Amino acid sequence: MPMGHTATAEAGSGGLTATEHRLANGLRVVLSEDHLTPVAAVCLWYDVGSRHEVKGRTGLAHLFEHLMFQGSGQVKGNGHFELVQGAGGSLNGTTSFERTNYFETMPTHQLELALWLEADRMGSLLAALDDESMENQRDVVKNERRQRYDNVPYGTAFERLTALAYPEGHPYHHTPIGSMADLDAATLEDARAFFRTYYAPNNAVLSVVGDIDPEQTLAWVEKYFGSVAGHDGKPAPRDGALPDTMGGELREVIEEDVPSRALMAAYRLPEDGTRASDAADLALTVLGGGESSRLYNRLVRRDRSAVAAGFGLLRLAGAPSLGWLDVKTSGDVRIPVIEAAVDEELARFAEEGPTAEEMERAQAQLEREWLDRLGTVAGRADELCRYAVLFGDPQLALTAVQRVLDITPEEVQEVAKSRLRPDNRAVLVYEPTESAEGTEGAEGTQSAADTADEDEEAAK
């Protein structure tokens, strides 16, 4: 049986607990009991994302997310979907810069099925991977790129800003979707080598949360995953470190058939897992987190120069995080008017810091988001995997909100003063083409966090 230890509820964990275990082949297992409803969530994070890809082969991590649903040694074709959904469960997978995850939520009595399915494709996917499935999913991913990036208003904004914010050659310079050219160039052998390198038990964390019997669950995990061989050939990810600030503004102007002018910017902010990152999250929440924020009140309510204004944090552990500003203009308002107002509000915030009321509201907002994530078995399973893979300790997921509540107004002001400056941002300006001038309304772009997660479209 696997070895493990039980964690007691820590202060600030809301009474939640988790136990940690490790199989002989290196698979880390995290369990959390919750008998409120008769369901169980299975979440498997592989420590592989677009940052692990090399030039000329971008998009492989996301392509493989799709290939993992195309059959394995004992499950043919679309069988993974059919078996889970036929048993009353739901499933999906996503890819980001830093990981690929797969997850199912099942009725409790179908938990064993989900574990068997995940273990089967971890251990035997190469037995089913052939030219036909490769070509099929290559076309699916290319079509996803067309639908979500190339053929929608502002669709390539995240990709363009990422390329501006992270220099050429940086592991985060390209987004998980990959380029059309690289998707076309990927071979079946490329895919097989990628799987052998990264889809191994010692490069993964499995969490199971919900109405479970821990002893029985561990027995199933050992039964189905224990015989899967580990792999020691994974290269270390390339260094994503950069100076604290960009040292100057980077700017690109795009003329496209979009509904309205738009100002978007990416600010270089502290890496996830630090107090400074939590302070940055609070700063951006005060400035642009919803309709009570400073930028929304200034641009949308007071000046009526914008129809939408938001500022959010894309947390990254292996590179500087990004503060993502997104403003859509109203009517014929020009970008310099918007930009001057934004800079004025950021300078005022850096000078004065947040008020006591703003701090309380922002901390409550982030606390509610934390409770929303951990309040479902699927959300908790994902968070436990996240902290295990990115920070080495799943228990940190249960106390994350307390670290946010411990941040002081002075720390929030300091990160704003040092980072939210014109010389520390990449800027994207959208100007409508003549045919689009005067178009009513403005389509909203996906948030940076949503765009960074490419999901398994076939699951829809």
Q: What is the mean pLDDT of residues 160-182?
A: 96
Where residue 456 falls among pLDDT bands split at 50, 70, 90?
very low
302-333, pLDDT tens digit by residue? 999 999 999 999 999 999 999 999 999 999 99
Q: Tell me what pLDDT residue 3 has.
A: 45
Where residue 455 falls among pLDDT bands split at 50, 70, 90?
low
Q: Tell me what pLDDT residue 453 has.
A: 75
Give pTM, 2 decimals.
0.93
Torsion on CA atoms 452, 199, 460, 210, rounded to nearest 10: -100
Q: To the nearest whole number, what is the mean pLDDT of the chain?
A: 92
103-158, pLDDT tens digit by residue? 999 999 999 999 999 999 999 999 999 999 999 999 999 999 999 999 999 999 99
- Amino acid present at 445: T
Q: Which residue has the higher pLDDT, 442 or 247?
A: 247
Q: What is the mean pLDDT of residues 418-434?
A: 96
262 has a pLDDT exceeding 50: yes
Where residue 102 falls among pLDDT bands split at 50, 70, 90?
very high
Backbone conformation region of residue 443, classed left if phi is above 0, alpha if psi is from -120 to 50, else beta: beta
Proportion of the chain above pLDDT 70, given as a percent = 92
Where residue 434 falls among pLDDT bands split at 50, 70, 90?
confident
Residue in the structure block whose two tokens are 């390339």? 238
7 has a pLDDT exceeding 60: no
Q: Tell me what pLDDT residue 454 has.
A: 63
- Three-state helix/strand/coil letters over the chain: CCEEEECCCCCCCCCCCCEEEECCCCCEEEEEECCCCCEEEEEEEECCCHHHCCCCCCCHHHHHHHHCCCCCCCCCCCHHHHHHHHCCCEEEEEECCCCEEEEEEEEHHHHHHHHHHHHHHHHHHHHCCCHHHHHHHHHHHHHHHHHHHHCCCCCCHHHHHHHHHCCCCCCCCCCCCCCHHHHHHCCHHHHHHHHHHHCCHHHEEEEEEECCCHHHHHHHHHHHHCCCCCCCCCCCCCCCCCCCCCCCCEEEEEEECCCCCEEEEEEEECCCCCHHHHHHHHHHHHHHCCCCCHHHHHHHHHCCCEEEEEEEEECCCCCCEEEEEEEEECCCCCHHHHHHHHHHHHHHHHHHCCCHHHHHHHHHHHHHHHHHHHCCHHHHHHHHHHHHHHHCCHHHHHHHHHHHHCCCHHHHHHHHHHHCCHHHEEEEEEEECHHHCCCCCCCCCCCHHHHHCEECHHHC
Closest CA to 285 of 343, 396, 367: 367
443 has a pLDDT exceeding 50: no
457 has a pLDDT exceeding 50: no
Q: What is the mean pLDDT of residues 355-374?
A: 97
Proportion of the chain above pLDDT 90, given as a percent = 89
Q: Tell me what pLDDT residue 10 has.
A: 59
